[in-house]
Chain A
Amino acid sequence: MGMFEKIFENKEIRTASAHCDGPCGVYDPASARISAEAVLSMTKKILDLTPPSDGDAKAMAAYLNTAARYIAIKEEQAQVAKDEILILWTDYFKPVHLESNPNLHEVFWKAAKLCSACKVEVSLEHANELMESIEEIHNIFWGTKGRDVAYYTAS
């Protein structure tokens, strides 16, 4: 330690704020992951449904109700996942992050398109691919913060 540094130690240090008042500094790909997990879960549930036998009106009504609810949740959560991904892409990530992650735009574009595909289709393949994309985003995101945050899923 040099002479100046030693004397500096006793000098007052004030704090200058250089951030945003709003909560816009708080980002976490976890919110997209939770919605994507719901999409995957609903996709599985829809595919597992067995229609009732002909003529059972009550069972048919229950079946349609269940299917409609699964579909509605899948639609809604796919859109939420897409919104969360777009927020990360356009608000959090900066040109400087592209230098260390040249494939950033490709990853996000693919993830957003997979959200749309999962919304429109009942595709287990695309729902799993969406989860893989979000894991990739998780790794890029925490990498930019220099933090080693383990990826996990709730289900």
Chain B
Amino acid sequence: MKDIPLAGLLQKFMHLLDLRVRYRIEGESMQPVLRDGDEVLVDEKARVGIGDVVIARHPFKESVEMAKRITAIDANGKFFLVGDNSDESTDSRTFGPVSLECIKGKVVARLK
């Protein structure tokens, strides 16, 4: 499982320029890589692929954005998202694969 690197000066600078969006993680479904209360920087323009941790909009709940990992991309280009801590995660195993428009961005760095 790919770790999320600690934000260096470059990522912080990108954040100041609003090229990185800051998210706070709530919940334990991305343990041990991300814990409850962690803050991350997200690149909304990044290309995403298998293994990346992404912020995605819940397909059935407009207002909910989630942090999950892409574990597969199906033949129709839909993304299968799973929490690293799969016992405590609601993800594509429940709501199915999500389309690219649900993916808000790639988690590129951790702030703390």
Contact = CB atoms under 8 A, between A and B. Distances in A.
Interface in B1-43: 12, 15-16, 21-32, 34, 36, 39-40
A18 B27 contact: yes
B28 A18 contact: yes
Given A4-B12, A96-B32, A16 B23 contact: yes
A21 B85 CA distance: 14
B22 A25 contact: no
Given A11-B22, A12-B22, A25-B27, A17 B88 contact: no
Interface of B: 12, 15-16, 21-32, 34, 36, 39-40, 55, 58, 64-68, 83, 85, 87-90, 94, 111
A94 B67 contact: no
A91 B85 CA distance: 11
Contacts, number: 80
Nearest to B89: A20
30 contacts: A4-B16, A7-B16, A8-B15, A8-B111, A11-B16, A11-B22, A13-B22, A13-B39, A14-B21, A16-B23, A16-B65, A16-B66, A17-B58, A17-B67, A18-B27, A18-B28, A18-B68, A18-B83, A19-B29, A19-B88, A20-B27, A20-B88, A20-B89, A21-B90, A21-B94, A24-B87, A24-B88, A25-B28, A91-B87, A96-B32
